[in-house]
């Protein structure tokens, strides 16, 4: 495929609920435009977009795939995204670089929970949307029902049909184009245009009037013509439709049956005729290279955190889709091929991308070379010499650039913002099965995090465990499976340990003395300290109340150091101690034997004694949780939360038949919540979670936790 100019390019991201047929639709478009010689099947695992062995084996999309179809001299770049909410990071980055969002609906299911989420993301990004009602050949397919569901369930959505389906379910055989007023029937490459079937004449006429009325309402001049019974030409209607789509006031709707190969070419026609090329979209804006923090790049600023800010909203460095502008590109995906190495997928934002050109990473200043510039079709690539602004492609063997980074002209550096991503909701403790696996686990996790921006890992300072985190159980399962398959590292996982804390409930004054005489110089340190509880969350406070020089000032920091050391391991179960004030008010020294280490040990002795006497308690982390679920399931969800020791903070209607529930829940009760919530709501609910504060553990549970911790400590010592 030769390089296409900016005005010949359309960037279309397929998004929607799992099972709505996004991958099959992409496959059909590739087949019908001659890119592939035969259609693959999701069930058989041989589609262009689901080329990863993990996807082929599971029969689902896990990663965003990029492919392209050529139609009427135009190149339509297709981003096929996963439909499972756990892979939301893939969807966010696809929407970030797209110009058009193809909202795919199952004709028999209508608007589902993930449909609402991705619709909101597209709206927040300010992108034009085309709704695609797929699987019209399926039992209980209902095109008009989908239109009604969009009106009722998607905030601010005004769907306007561009087509009338010819038949439904097993009788679906084509569509009537309401703009061109012709019928397109038949499968795939054999589809033919013809007159409107007589039996549909009345329905088509009514639908055409509805289309015209919806469009003229967005244009005052056309509205006057319409009210004056003047004829509105197809060109005028199309121009006003484009404006309405760009303004976000209209959402055109088309229909098809991807696996039956019906209605796919009319979809491409609509995308080319109605939707914008990259040069017609707002210019990207960023920050001057080296003048931006990571927080600026990921926090929309002025927009509710959690959204995708509208194109052109952030930064002051504008980069239009102009071939004469300085080169800039945004990396939206990274893969590692065993033969080629690292592959970086990018959108050319401005200027021309040329093979082997020298560029810099705006985020870091690192120098790179645009080697292996290519056009992807899933995992296969075709080398190209250049890409125009707005096009999507890939380069190989970038040394330091990662997903979310900006490549740019060394003489005109810029850094583009990244999409904000929710915090991972599901965590596991991970370790290698063998010593060899353990040695290779770190590099394997680093590579996995490079390829999947929704995946994270870290060594917990609280528990010492290596904790891997993702958006849900399925997400982590696929990442760990990929590590095993691609990198030969076998990983064992368990539920992570809860980072409990210990504290105290009353004030005590204790004495600590360290005295040692072994011949020669001895060791002597003597302290009196008061220990009392602080308000929850204040941590640790050390007060020097020594008067009269009872302890020299040079030894005071040593006493504090000893107290802190004793707090690292509490007396109940060995967890760190928090929210304590220590006041040093008296002590003694020896003119020869006193030393820093002696007073440090004296402080430890006193602190351990104080913790034992001051009513020690066990604390657990409490999480702030927000769950969004269908109204009909709210009662079951609240009942389940009550069983998890939750405190409901509030509930509110959020539209579309959904309710938002806010609650405070102990982290120990949330370890398996992602899977439980999916099972309880059939995948129709979602949640976010962040740390709130620590609270005392109920006594009967604290006893179990303490006993378990002591047993583990005993096993470790043995």
Residue 353, φ and ψ in degrees, nearest 5: -90, 125
For residue 2, being part of any structural domain is answered with no
Give 433-471 as a DSSP string. Answer: SSHHHHHHHHHHHHHHHHH-TT-EEEE-TTT--EEEEES
Number of H helices, E strands in the chain: 17, 37
List of residues 6+ apart from 291 with CB closer than 8 A: none
The strand pairing partners of 395, in sequence order, are 344
Looking at residue 305, what is its pLDDT?
30
Asked whether the beta carbons of 107 and 142 are under 8 A apart, the reply is: yes
Q: Kindly report the three-state secondary structure assignment for every residue of 3-17.
A: CCCHHHEEEEEEECC
DSSP H/E element including 523:
strand 523-533
Give the residue carrying structure tokens 């005729």. 273
CATH number reported for the structural domain that contains residue 597 in this entry: 3.30.230.10
Looking at residue 718, what is its pLDDT?
46
Q: Are residues 674 and 696 in the same domain?
A: yes
Q: Are residues 190 and 303 in the same domain?
A: no
Q: How far, CA to CA in Å, does 674 sit from each of 91, 111, 424, 474, 476?
A: 19, 22, 11, 10, 12
Looking at residue 576, what is its pLDDT?
94
Residues of the chain with pLDDT under 70: 1-2, 289-315, 518-520, 655-656, 715-718
**C-alpha–C-alpha distance, residues 129 and 101, integer Å:** 5
438, 462, 494 - which closes a domain: 494
Q: Are residues 342 and 453 in the same domain?
A: no
615, 637, 666 - which closes a domain: 615
Q: Are residues 346 and 468 in the same domain?
A: no
The strand pairing partners of 587, in sequence order, are 527
SS3 548: coil
Q: How far, CA to CA in Å, does 468 sit from each of 64, 133, 441, 462, 490?
A: 22, 38, 11, 15, 14
Q: Are residues 595 and 510 in the same domain?
A: yes
List of residues 6+ apart from 313 with CB closer than 8 A: 285, 300, 302, 303
Asked whether the beta carbons of 28 and 39 are under 8 A apart, the reply is: yes
Q: Are residues 193 and 105 in the same domain?
A: yes
Q: Are residues 224 and 344 in the same domain?
A: no
Q: Find the DSSP H helices in 59-173.
A: 88-97, 113-125, 143-153
- Token output for 392: 């999507």
**C-alpha–C-alpha distance, residues 12 and 21, integer Å:** 15
Q: How far, CA to CA in Å, does 496 sit from each of 166, 245, 696?
A: 55, 48, 20
Looking at residue 315, what is its pLDDT?
62
Asked whether the beta carbons of 23 and 61 are under 8 A apart, the reply is: yes
For residue 627, being part of any structural domain is answered with yes
Please tell me the pTM assigned to this model: 0.85
Asked whether the beta carbons of 89 and 454 are under 8 A apart, the reply is: yes
Mind listing the pLDDT tens digit for each residue in 644-681? Answer: 999 999 999 876 678 899 999 999 999 889 888 888 88
**C-alpha–C-alpha distance, residues 218 and 241, integer Å:** 8
Total residues belonging to the chain: 718
Looking at residue 307, what is its pLDDT?
41
CATH number reported for the structural domain that contains residue 55 in this entry: 3.40.50.300
Q: Are residues 92 and 182 in the same domain?
A: yes
Q: Are residues 521 and 490 in the same domain?
A: no
- Token output for 143: 């095109």
The strand pairing partners of 376, in sequence order, are 381
The domain in which residue 65 lies consists of 7-277
Q: What is the Cα 67 distance to its own chain's centre?
A: 22
Q: Find the DSSP H helices in 98-219.
A: 113-125, 143-153, 201-216
* Residue 248 backbone zone (phi > 0: left; psi -120 to 50: alpha; other: beta): left
Give 314-340 as a DSSP string. Answer: S-SEEE-S-TTSPPEEEEEEEEEETTT
Q: Are residues 86 and 148 in the same domain?
A: yes
SS3 content of the chain, % helix, strand, coil (to 5): 30, 30, 35
For residue 707, being part of any structural domain is answered with no
For residue 444, being part of any structural domain is answered with yes
Looking at residue 304, what is its pLDDT?
32
Q: Are residues 104 and 189 in the same domain?
A: yes
494, 525, 543 - which closes a domain: 494
Looking at residue 292, what is its pLDDT?
63
For residue 348, being part of any structural domain is answered with yes
List of residues 6+ apart from 206 with CB closer than 8 A: none
For residue 663, being part of any structural domain is answered with yes
CATH number reported for the structural domain that contains residue 469 in this entry: 3.30.70.870
- Token output for 492: 């064992």
CATH number reported for the structural domain that contains residue 404 in this entry: 2.40.30.10
Residue 85 DSSP symbol: G
Q: Are residues 462 and 385 in the same domain?
A: no
Looking at residue 379, what is its pLDDT?
85
**What is the tally of structural domains in the chain?**
5
């Amino acid at each position: 495929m030769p390089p296409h100019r900016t005005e010949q390019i359309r960037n279309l991201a397929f998004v929607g609920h799992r099972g709505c047929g996004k991958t099959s639709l992409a496959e059909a478009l590739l087949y019908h435009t001659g890119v592939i010689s035969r259609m693959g099947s999701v069930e058989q695992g041989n589609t262009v977009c689901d080329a990863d062995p993990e996807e082929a084996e599971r029969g689902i999309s896990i990663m965003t795939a990029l492919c392209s179809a050529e139609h009427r001299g135009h190149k339509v770049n297709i981003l096929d995204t996963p439909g499972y909410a756990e892979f939301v990071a893939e969807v966010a980055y696809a929407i970030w670089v797209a110009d058009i969002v193809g909202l795919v609906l199952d004709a028999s299911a209508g608007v589902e929970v993930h449909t609402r989420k991705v619709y909101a993301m597209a709206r927040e990004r300010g992108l034009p949307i085309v709704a695609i009602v797929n699987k019209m050949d399926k039992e209980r397919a209902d095109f008009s029902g989908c239109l009604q569901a969009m009106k009722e369930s998607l905030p601010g959505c005004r769907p306007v049909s561009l087509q009338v389906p010819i038949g439904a379910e097993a009788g679906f055989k084509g569509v009537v184009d309401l703009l061109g007023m012709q019928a397109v029937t038949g499968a795939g490459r054999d589809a033919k245009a013809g007159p409107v079937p007589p039996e549909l004449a009345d329905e088509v006429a009514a639908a055409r009037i509805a289309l015209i009325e919806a469009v003229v309402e967005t244009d005052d001049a056309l509205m006057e013509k319409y009210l004056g019974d003047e004829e509105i030409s197809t060109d005028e209607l199309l121009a006003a439709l484009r404006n309405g789509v760009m303004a976000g006031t209209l959402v055109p709707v088309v229909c098809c049956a991807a696996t039956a190969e019906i209605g796919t070419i009319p979809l491409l026609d609509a995308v080319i005729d109605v939707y914008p090329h990259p040069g017609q979209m707002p210019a990207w804006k960023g920050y001057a290279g080296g003048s931006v923090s990571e927080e600026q790049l990921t926090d929309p600023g002025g927009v509710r955190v959690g959204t995708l800010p509208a194109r052109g909203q952030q930064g002051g460095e504008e980069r239009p889709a102009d071939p004469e502008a300085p080169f800039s590109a945004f990396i939206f995906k990274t893969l590692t091929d065993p033969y080629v190495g690292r592959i970086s997928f990018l959108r050319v934002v401005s200027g021309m991308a040329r093979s082997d050109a020298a560029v810099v990473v705006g985020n870091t200043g690192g120098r790179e070379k645009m080697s292996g510039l290519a056009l992807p079709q899933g995992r296969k690539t075709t080398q190209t010499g250049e890409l125009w602004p707005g096009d999507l492609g890939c380069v190989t063997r970038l040394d330091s650039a990662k997903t979310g980074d900006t490549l740019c002209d060394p003489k005109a550096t810029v850094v583009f913002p990244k999409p904000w991503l929710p915090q991972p909701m599901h965590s596991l403790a991970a370790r290698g099965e063998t010593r060899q696996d353990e040695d290779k686990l770190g590099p394997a996790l680093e590579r996995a995090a490079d390829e999947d921006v929704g995946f994270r890992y870290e060594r917990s300072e609280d528990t010492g465990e290596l904790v891997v985190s993702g958006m849900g159980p399925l997400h982590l399962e696929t990442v760990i499976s990929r590590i095993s398959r691609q990198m030969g590292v076998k990983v064992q996982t368990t539920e992570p340990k809860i980072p409990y804390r210990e504290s105290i409930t009353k004030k005590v004054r204790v004495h600590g003395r360290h005295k040692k005489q072994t011949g020669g110089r001895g060791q002597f340190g003597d302290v009196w300290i008061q220990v009392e509880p602080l308000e929850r969350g204040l941590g640790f406070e050390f007060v020097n109340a020594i008067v009269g020089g009872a302890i020299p000032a040079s030894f005071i920091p040593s006493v504090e150091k000893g107290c802190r050391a004793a707090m690292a391991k509490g007396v109940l179960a060995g967890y760190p101690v928090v929210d304590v004030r220590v006041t040093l008010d008296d002590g003694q020294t020896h003119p020869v034997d006193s030393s820093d280490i002696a007073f440090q040990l004296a402080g430890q002795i006193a602190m351990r004694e104080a913790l034992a006497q001051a009513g020690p308690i066990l604390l657990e982390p409490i999480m702030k949780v927000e769950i969004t679920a269908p109204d009909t399931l709210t009662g079951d969800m609240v009942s389940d939360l009550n069983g998890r020791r939750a405190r409901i903070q509030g509930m509110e209607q959020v539209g579309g038949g959904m309710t938002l529930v806010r609650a405070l829940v102990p982290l120990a009760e949330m370890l398996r919540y992602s899977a439980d919530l999916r099972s309880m709501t059939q995948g129709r609910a979602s949640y976010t979670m962040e740390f709130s504060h620590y609270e005392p553990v109920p006594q009967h549970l604290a006893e179990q936790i303490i006993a378990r911790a002591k047993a583990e400590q005993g096993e470790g010592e043995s």
